[in-house]
């Protein structure tokens, strides 16, 4: 059985962007009906967003732009909270309004790029990130985000170039984000077949963040491609220790156990994967894993009959 469940895990997280600066002291939330100033509504919206009350924040920003249709910061922040709410189409509309009023609004370009990326419009996202870099060449967020978008378009060489730039410009105190970028660059190297370079990046990722189960998982995949089955089992096991619900890691470890002749361990892993996929409601992966398990059990049953004969 040469089949390998090759799902690589891209972190896929674009850098979170901050709210526009508050020019007045924010106050406790109050009824929108009692507020008549766009600036006051704006400040209430910022306060709500800081406390993760995104729906309420969106309502405040909506009312603020009704009172002042040229309120750039309110449009920009409204875009951000709609991103948090998963309403990417509205987020794009708000950021578009912000950049029309102020073409130099870099946060709006970044947020619109993120919204486009979440909708799968990677070219539009790349366009916005590139506009940011035209004005602010050292913005690591735009490089990182653009690298992620280029990865999705299979522009792997260009993605690596962006990840290189992100690593060059990222603040020194961003250790966890550094680990994510190394993981993404390693994944991209793996897509290009550069396994030694990929493993080196995954090594860096886990050195910076030893709780990064995605990096362990991806390194396991790279080890397997390189023929290091023992290393692959080690890293799939480490990924599962960090995330016991990681169904794909069970599948892959089970298949390697099968390749090495550890059939009971293989069956145990595949059964655990079935349980996890069932909990996730992932019917397609469940059926695929069930088919693999049936084939493996059939092979075992056949070998027993031959041995008895």
Q: Band of the pLDDT at 298, cuts 50, 70, 90?
A: confident
Residue 39 lies in a domain: yes
Are 281 and 252 contacting, i.e. CB atoms less than 8 angstroms apart?
no
Neighbours of 171 (CB within 10 A): 9
Neighbours of 308 (CB within 10 A): 6
Percentages (nearest 5) of helix, strand, coil residues in the chain: 75, 0, 25
Please give the pLDDT value at position 33: 54
Taking the C-alpha atoms of residue 276 and residue 136, their distance in angstroms, rounded to an integer, is 45
Please give the pLDDT value at position 277: 97
Residue 297 lies in a domain: no
Residue 108 lies in a domain: yes
Q: In which domain, by residue range, is 89 found?
A: 32-119
Residue 235 lies in a domain: no
For residues 26-51, give the mean pLDDT: 75
Residue 23 lies in a domain: no
Are 108 and 75 contacting, i.e. CB atoms less than 8 angstroms apart?
yes
For residues 112-136, give the mean pLDDT: 96
Residue 54 lies in a domain: yes
Is the pLDDT at 307 greater than 60, yes or no?
no
Are 166 and 181 contacting, i.e. CB atoms less than 8 angstroms apart?
yes
For residues 120-132, give the mean pLDDT: 97
Residue 272 lies in a domain: no
Task: Note if the pTM is more than 0.75.
Answer: yes
Are 249 and 220 contacting, i.e. CB atoms less than 8 angstroms apart?
yes
C-alpha count within 13 angstroms, C-beta hemisphere, residue 116:
24
Q: Where are the beta strands (DSSP E) in 102-202?
A: none
Q: How many domains does the structure of the chain reveal?
A: 1
Which residues neighbour 280 within 8 Å (Cβ) at sequence distance 6 or greater?
A: 245, 247
Residue 67 lies in a domain: yes
Please give the pLDDT value at position 12: 42
Residue 107's alpha-carbon distances to 14, 32, 136, 249, 270, in angstroms, are: 13, 26, 11, 37, 45
CATH number at residue 68: 1.25.40.10
Taking the C-alpha atoms of residue 178 and residue 160, their distance in angstroms, rounded to an integer, is 14
Is the pLDDT at 1 greater than 70, yes or no?
no
Give Rg (Cα) of the chain.
24
Q: Band of the pLDDT at 9, cuts 50, 70, 90?
A: very low
């Amino acid at each position: 059985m040469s089949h390998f469940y090759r799902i690589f895990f891209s972190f896929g997280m674009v850098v979170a962007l901050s709210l526009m600066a508050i020019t007045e002291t924010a106050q406790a939330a109050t009824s929108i009906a009692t507020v008549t100033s766009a600036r006051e509504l704006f400040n209430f919206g910022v306060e709500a967003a800081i406390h993760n009350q995104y729906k309420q924040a969106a309502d405040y920003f909506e009312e603020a732009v009704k009172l002042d249709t040229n309120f750039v910061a309110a449009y920009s922040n409204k875009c951000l909270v709609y991103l948090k709410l998963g309403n990417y189409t509205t987020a794009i509309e708000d950021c578009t309004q912000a950049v029309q009023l102020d073409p130099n609004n870099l946060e709006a370009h970044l947020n619109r790029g993120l919204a486009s990326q979440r909708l799968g419009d990677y070219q539009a996202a790349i366009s916005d990130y590139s506009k940011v870099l035209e004005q602010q060449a050292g913005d690591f967020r735009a490089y990182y985000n653009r690298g992620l978008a280029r990865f999705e378009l299979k522009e792997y060489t260009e993605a690596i170039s962006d990840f290189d730039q992100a690593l060059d410009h990222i603040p020194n105190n961003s250790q966890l984000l550094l680990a994510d970028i190394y993981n993404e660059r390693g994944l991209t190297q793996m897509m290009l077949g550069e396994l030694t370079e990929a493993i080196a990046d995954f090594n860096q990722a886990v050195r910076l963040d030893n709780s990064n189960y995605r990096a362990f998982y991806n390194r396991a995949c790279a080890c397997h491609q390189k023929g290091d089955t023992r290393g692959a089992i080690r890293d799939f096991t480490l990924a599962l220790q960090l995330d016991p619900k990681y169904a794909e890691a069970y599948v892959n470890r089970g298949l390697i156990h099968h390749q090495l002749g550890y059939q009971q361990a293989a069956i145990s892993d595949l059964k655990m994967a079935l349980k996890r996929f069932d909990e996730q409601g992932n019917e397609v992966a469940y059926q695929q894993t069930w088919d693999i398990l049936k084939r493996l059990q059939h092979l075992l049953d056949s070998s027993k009959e031959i041995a008895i004969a």
